[in-house]
């Protein structure tokens, strides 16, 4: 009882503590607009207890972790050292060994005090930049020999205002130079940069208490491992949508556009698409519920707040007041749309057929199933919905369709598939084996249990290839590893991501905690953690393994092994792998598209070592020309081999160019406010791993050819054995 009373008193004194600490941090003029809530204090206490009790690493939140938490929080707010100064960091240092004690008691004073200082610094910097921008842009001397560091995260905190001003001057000059090289006039450059910094200032005012708490909480969770994270209520809802590939709403993708909410696109066959009146680029200025009643003006609202108004139960109506995309700002139109289930079909498994020839020249039809994620609608499954959405159900249907088309084999394309449901990885593997274990899972208490297909049943018996790359992670690695261990198919591509941990979603007083509770192991006993799945045949990759993958992430758990599991060996490959590799290498040396990809990889390796960007116009042009010449040379090399006309020039994007507008769906609590860079768990896919629709998918075609060779060799091998009997 005494502890409960103490907690209540503690909650009441948080606001006073904030004010006192503001004075200690020399912040007498800060207006404390944001303060922690009682629910957030309870959430922090519960989160710490859960991390210590249930995380696989069994790590205690002590003084050492407290110091790391403070450092991680500062890095989350100011990763490029553009706002805080050394004096600010010194003022925060007394908290280094106190965050653990304060957080256990639900005291979030440090989080909100530090954020207030960040917000004050950022606001002053953006307002000062906007005021000085005309003089800055007009006064830039592009003939000076100076440069901008590309990786600015390791530089020390600025010791003086002058040093910080110089960092900002160089950043703005780099942006202006990129626009200048894009042939924008000085007036256009000024207009673009003014709009960019005005939008950043506008977004700064939209931060709320949940945003601050989420950044602070995740600065702690990431110290346990890269995949343990706190989900705010909004992020938890979006996670469910991504897992189920469906939600109730109107099916419109929204984006903040200055003070307006803009329609980016409509989900095909969604309610808005079927209704037919809403158009991309329409601006939403009001939202009303049902077919009658008041419209709420949403100009200046946060994007997620507008989304909350538009989403709702199916078979209810929402009315949108919009400014038509081709209209004037004084034009208005009200559109009533009935909400319904929106299915994100473009993110579900898809199939197609490619035709290749094996090494003997015989044509082969190869079915390709592209699986972008391992999804399942758990809510529909729990409701007993017979038509619930899942990866395995979709793939089973696609296999039936492809077999009806007479395909000779299947390629399962898992490139860029970051994982998802563990259950779906197991069930999907069951479509390709008769029965048996697919994965071993070891808990924090070191107990091991096995999951897989427990009953014999029909399965696809034809030859399969699994195509992976560096962004194939988690559930993708379980599936690819099982296919490889069973000898059921051929795994080709690149070493996978290396995420060999299992997370559970646990409810907190506010939001959810995704916590790593287990590690999974292949039936061979090997963990995929850190190491990933190594393909049977390796392709060139534009992904740098030193920069992308589990091994590149801080606080990643280690690789290890446990005992293997007895399992059937389908022996699809047998002793044929050396022959398959040899034939692949012969083709790769003669294939213009494959050689082109190899040359691109080499050029990317040269570019990655670039440490600075020149701020001299002459030097920047020379850098761009050199890169364009290399790109032109490898493109003409491909064209010459194919007997196509050669090019005189090739337009190459300036690698230093800053896009004029960043999607505002990434802005806010999961992004750095000043730069607009999303804070993603995994890097985005790079060009070249999956070619555009206008270019052949070189790696997929080669996977098909390897699979065709496997079929040809297997048939010869079977015939030889029959004769010997």
**Residue 565: count of CB within 10 angstroms of its CB:** 19
Mapping DSSP to helix (H, G, I), strand (E, B) and coil, where does residue 719 land? helix
Mapping DSSP to helix (H, G, I), strand (E, B) and coil, where does residue 539 land? coil
With a CB cutoff of 8 Å and minimum separation 6, the contacts of 381 are: 388, 390
Residues forming a β-bridge with 252 = 266
Instruction: For the chain, state the CA radius of gyration.
Output: 28
377's enclosing H/E stretch is: none
* Residue ranges with strand state E in 348-489: 350-357, 363-370, 409-413, 436-443, 448-453, 464-468
Mapping DSSP to helix (H, G, I), strand (E, B) and coil, where does residue 513 land? strand
Choosing from 370, 377, 413, 485, the catalytic residue is 485
Choosing from 343, 389, 499, 519, the catalytic residue is 499
Say if CB 396 and CB 374 are below 8 A apart. no
DSSP 393: H
In this structure, what is the dihedral angle of CA atoms 11, 17, 19, 23, given to the nearest 10 degrees? Answer: -170
What would the two tokens of residue 576 be?
């044929």
* Of 504, 394, 469, 456, nearest in space to 698 by CA: 469
* Of 419, 362, 378, 370, nearest in space to 395 by CA: 370
CB neighbour class for 151 (10 Å; exposed up to 12, middle 13-18, buried from 19) = exposed
Say if CB 400 and CB 502 are below 8 A apart. no
User: Would you call 499 a catalytic residue per the annotation?
Assistant: yes
Q: Length of the chain, please?
A: 725
Alpha carbons 649 and 636: distance in angstroms, whole number:
10
What would the two tokens of residue 74 be?
């500062």
Choosing from 66, 103, 232, 474, the catalytic residue is 474
Mutual angle of helices 109-139 and 209-221, in 10-degree steps? 100
Mapping DSSP to helix (H, G, I), strand (E, B) and coil, where does residue 526 land? strand
53's enclosing H/E stretch is: helix 38-54
User: Would you call 474 a catalytic residue per the annotation?
Assistant: yes
Alpha carbons 63 and 45: distance in angstroms, whole number:
16
The catalytic residue positions are 474, 485, 499
């Amino acid at each position: 009882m005494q502890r409960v009373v103490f907690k209540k008193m503690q909650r009441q004194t948080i606001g006073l503590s904030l004010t006192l600490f503001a004075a200690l941090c020399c912040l007498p003029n800060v207006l404390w607009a944001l303060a922690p809530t009682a629910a957030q204090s309870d959430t922090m206490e519960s989160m710490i207890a859960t991390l210590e009790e249930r995380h696989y690493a069994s790590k205690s939140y002590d003084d050492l972790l407290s110091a790391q938490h403070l450092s991680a929080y500062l890095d989350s707010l100011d990763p490029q050292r553009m706002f805080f100064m050394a004096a600010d960091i010194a003022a925060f240092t007394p908290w280094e060994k106190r965050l653990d004690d304060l957080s256990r008691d639900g005291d979030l004073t440090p989080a909100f005090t530090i954020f207030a200082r960040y917000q004050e610094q950022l606001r002053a910097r953006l307002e000062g930049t906007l005021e000085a921008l005309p003089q800055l842009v007009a006064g830039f001397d592009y003939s000076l020999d100076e440069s901008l560091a590309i990786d600015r995260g390791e530089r020390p905190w600025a010791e003086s205002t002058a040093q910080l001003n110089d960092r900002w001057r160089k950043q703005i000059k780099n942006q202006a130079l990129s626009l200048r090289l894009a042939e924008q006039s000085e007036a256009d450059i000024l207009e673009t940069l003014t709009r960019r910094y005005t939008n950043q200032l506008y977004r700064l005012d939209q931060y709320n208490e949940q945003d601050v708490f989420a950044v602070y909480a995740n600065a702690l969770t990431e110290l346990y491992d890269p995949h343990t994270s706190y989900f705010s209520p909004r992020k938890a809802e979006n996670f469910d949508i991504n897992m189920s590939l469906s939600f109730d709403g109107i099916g419109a993708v929204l984006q903040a556009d200055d003070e307006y909410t803009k329609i980016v696109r409509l989900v095909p066959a969604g309610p808005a698409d079927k209704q037919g009146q809403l158009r991309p680029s329409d601006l939403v200025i009001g939202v009303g519920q049902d077919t009658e009643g008041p419209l709420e003006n949403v100009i200046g609202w946060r994007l997620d707040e507008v989304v909350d108004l538009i989403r709702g139960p199916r078979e209810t109506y929402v009315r949108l007041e919009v400014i038509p995309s081709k209209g004037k700002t004084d034009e208005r139109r009200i559109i009533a749309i009935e909400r319904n289930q929106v299915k994100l079909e473009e993110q579900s498994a898809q199939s197609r057929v490619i035709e290749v020839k094996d090494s003997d020249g015989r044509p082969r039809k190869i079915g390709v199933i592209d699986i972008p994620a391992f999804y399942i609608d758990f809510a529909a499954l729990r409701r007993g919905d017979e038509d619930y959405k899942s990866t395995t159900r979709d793939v089973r249907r696609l296999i039936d369709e492809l077999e009806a088309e007479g395909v000779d084999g299947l390629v399962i394309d898992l490139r860029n598939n970051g994982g998802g449901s563990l259950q779906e990885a197991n069930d999907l593997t069951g479509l390709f084996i008769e029965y048996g274990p697919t994965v071993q899972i070891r808990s924090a208490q070191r107990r091991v249990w096995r999951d897989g297909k427990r009953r014999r049943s029909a399965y696809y018996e034809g030859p399969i290839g699994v195509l992976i790359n560096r962004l194939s992670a988690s559930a993708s690695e379980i599936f690819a590893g099982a296919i490889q261990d069973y000898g059921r198919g051929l795994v080709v591509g690149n070493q996978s991501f290396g995420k060999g941990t299992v997370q559970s979603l646990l409810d907190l007083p506010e939001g959810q905690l995704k916590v790593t509770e287990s590690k999974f192991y292949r039936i061979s006993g090997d963990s995929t953690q850190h190491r990933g799945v190594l393909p049977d045949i390796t392709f060139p990759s534009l992904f740098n393994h030193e920069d992308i993958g589990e091994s590149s992430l801080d606080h990643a758990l280690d690789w290890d092994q446990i005992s293997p599991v007895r399992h059937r060996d389908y022996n699809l490959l047998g002793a044929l792998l050396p022959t398959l590799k040899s034939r692949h290498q012969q083709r790769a040396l003669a294939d213009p598209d494959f050689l082109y990809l190899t040359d691109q990889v080499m050029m990317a390796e040269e570019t990655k070592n670039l440490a600075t960007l020149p701020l001299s116009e002459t030097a920047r042009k020379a850098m761009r020309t050199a890169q364009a010449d290399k790109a032109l040379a490898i493109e003409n090399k491909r064209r010459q081999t194919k007997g196509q006309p050669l090019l005189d020039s090739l337009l190459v994007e300036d690698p230093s160019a800053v896009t004029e507008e960043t999607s505002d769906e990434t802005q806010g609590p999961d992004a750095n406010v000043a730069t607009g860079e999303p804070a993603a768990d995994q890097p985005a896919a790079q060009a070249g791993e999956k070619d555009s629709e206008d270019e052949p998918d070189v790696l997929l075609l080669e996977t098909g050819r390897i699979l065709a060779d496997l079929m040809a060799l297997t048939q010869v091998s079977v015939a030889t054995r029959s004769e010997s009997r």
